[in-house]
Chains A and B, each alone.
Chain A
Amino acid sequence: MESALKTAFPFIVYLVAVLLAFQGVLMIVAYTVLAERKVLGWIQGRVGPNRVGPWGLLQPFADLLKFIFKEDLVPDKSTKFVYFLAPLVALTASLMPIVVYPFGPRIADPLGWLVPYVSGYGAFGEVVAWIAEQARNMPLTIARIDVGVLYVLSITSVGVYGVALAGWASNSKYSLMGGLRSSAQMISYELAMGAAVIGPVLLAGTLDLNGIILAQINSPFRWYIIPQFIAFVVFLISAFAETNRVPFDLPEAETELVAGFHTEYSALKFALFFMAEYVNMFTVSVMCTVLFLGGWYIPGLGRIFAPGSIPYAVISHFGFIAKVCFFLFLYIWVRGTLPRFRFDQLMNFGWKFLLPVAIANVVLTIIVVYFLSL
């Protein structure tokens, strides 16, 4: 019994970690929607939602309830299987990168302070001591895989199917055009995004997200936004295009395409697409933070608290969340400020400007890294 529990322990820990991380990310995403409506309201001189709960804080839950209780319409001539599959693909592909996010630094001994208090309680004290022993050097990442950057890029590239299949399966002109536009846009800007990612990866010498953060801490610049500013700008612009946000929200240009690929979707299926879009925003914000803003690293914090201690980890974690939230705010800010591109402008900009700039940055970085390593 005891050995079985000990074998099952890592799986239980992973299960709890996954649930916690998903819950946290989804809560941030839910409140991003509220923040978007509030901030857009302020930008346009309005108040924004303020009826549900104090200051409108319960609005996301009210929206969710509304989505659940709405009538679920399925177009008569749609291809049913693909029509049901598409929102699932979109949301799954957007949620899967969460497992590699580096939420914070390693904690050397997270539960060690508990052991003296419970050591007098026999078996219970022993169990706590054993768990505390297991929890030593606890990373604040669910899965630390060797190819974290590539993993995130590949999973988000699968997300194109959700949009493309939704457009095709709805059997509507607007949906099909929206789906085609969106997949063309995502394929085009994926190239610039991938080329922009190569810069920081070259400097860090690893594809592991935590490794990139550690390499930034050890580099003279602390944050890669300084030596890789071009890559940062290219990444940020293509991130807007990848997530179909203003000024690149052509798939749902309402004056031309009603609502683009999700025109025919209603109720909870529409909510899945909606959530997928905001989770994707969160993902690219995390990537931007990790690659260019040093992830959870706050300069100077190591002088106040010892690295590896609990307060250091907690403050670093909230620093990480704050940086991600800054990018989320940037999305909303840009949405309230800029008009939409035309489709040919979008394609020209992606292929003829962003991609060459990103490739030039890669070549430049390779030369610099080569001469520095001599």
Chain B
Amino acid sequence: MVGSILFYLFAGFAIACAAAMVWQKNPLYSAIALIGVFISLSLIYLTLAAPFIAVAQILVYAGAIMVLVVFVIMLLNLGDDDKSRKQRLGYLYGVGGGLGVILFLQTLFIFYAVLKSPAATNVSDKTSGRTISIGQTLFTQYLLPVEIVGVLLLMAIIGGVILSRRLDQPEIERLVEKELEIRKEEEKLEEPRISF
């Protein structure tokens, strides 16, 4: 009883936050709403007796990724969305509507499949969802995917370092310098001559 009340509470909060994220014009409000979605999702994980996933959700998404997103929004100081874009992006209403219909059908199918299938057997293993069982499965049964993801993340880190630091790459540096020179000359040409 308490479990289902909590579920509806957190699920409702998650959906409300998701809707707010889409509706808000201000990007920072959208980001705050997305943080709300992450936190309510992690609360749902907690009610499902998966504390590790719940905490990892907050630690990774709310604590790290969204902080960077908020950081970027603050640095760029984006204002409200201007009206002219509405005309330009009109076709997106159709695309979004189509995707929404597909999502709705998928949900119906999941409900249908769940109702059709026999009742799920209760998981008797008390340790499932705890840190130790997650660690053991990750490093025995799913070792290869974990390693692949690790290599992928390492590649992403190296890529990020290379993109942000071009000091050790003379070719890129030369390209950038050339580009800067061209821009400077263009600016000189466009500069209005002030004469008294």
Give the complex CA separation of A168 and B70 in angstroms: 10
Given contacts A165-B70, A179-B74, contact A158 B56 (CB under 8 A): no
Instruction: Give every chain B residue within 8 A of A184 (Cβ-Cβ).
Output: 71
Q: Which of B52, B55, B132 has the largest count of A CB atoms less than 10 A from its CB?
A: B55
The verdict on A146 contacting B51 (CB below 8 Å), with A154-B63, A168-B28 known, is: yes
Q: Which residues does chain B contribute within 8 Å of A190, judged by CB atoms?
A: 63
Tier of interface size on chain A: 20 to 34
B37 at the interface (CB under 8 A from A): no
* Interface of chain A residues 154 through 196 with chain B (CB within 8 A): 154-155, 157-158, 160-161, 164-165, 167-168, 176, 179-180, 183-184, 187, 190
- How far is it, in angstroms, between the C-alpha of A190 and the C-alpha of B58 when the chains are bound? 14
A58 within 8 A of B: no
Is B75 an interface residue, CB under 8 A from the partner?
yes
Per DSSP, are chain A's interface residues mostly helix, strand or loop, or mixed?
helix
Q: Which residues of A have CB within 8 Å of B106?
A: none
Which residue in A79, A146, A155, A176 is a CB contact (below 8 Å) of B52? A146
Chain A positions within 8 Å of B74 at CB level: 164, 167-168, 176, 179-180
Interface residue? A150 (CB, 8 A)? yes
Q: Check if B35 sits within 8 Å of A207, measured CB to CB.
A: no
- Whether B28 and A150, one on each chain, are in contact in the complex, defined by CB atoms closer than 8 angstroms, is no
Interface assignment of A151: CB less than 8 Å from any CB of chain B:
yes
A348 to chain B, nearest CB (A): 15
Among residues of B, the one whose C-beta sits closest to the C-beta of A180 is: B74
Which of A81, A147, A153, A164 is in CB contact (< 8 Å) with B67?
Answer: A164
Distance between Cα atoms of A186 and B117 in the complex (Å)? 49
CB distance from A161 to the nearest CB of B (A): 7
The 4 closest A-B pairs by CB, nearest first: A157-B63, A154-B59, A154-B58, A150-B55
14 inter-chain pairs at a CB distance below 8 angstroms, sorted by A residue, are A79-B28, A146-B52, A146-B131, A150-B55, A154-B58, A157-B67, A161-B35, A165-B32, A168-B74, A176-B74, A179-B74, A180-B71, A180-B75, A183-B67
Interface residues of A (CB under 8 A from B): 79, 81-82, 85, 145-147, 150-151, 153-155, 157-158, 160-161, 164-165, 167-168, 176, 179-180, 183-184, 187, 190, 206-207
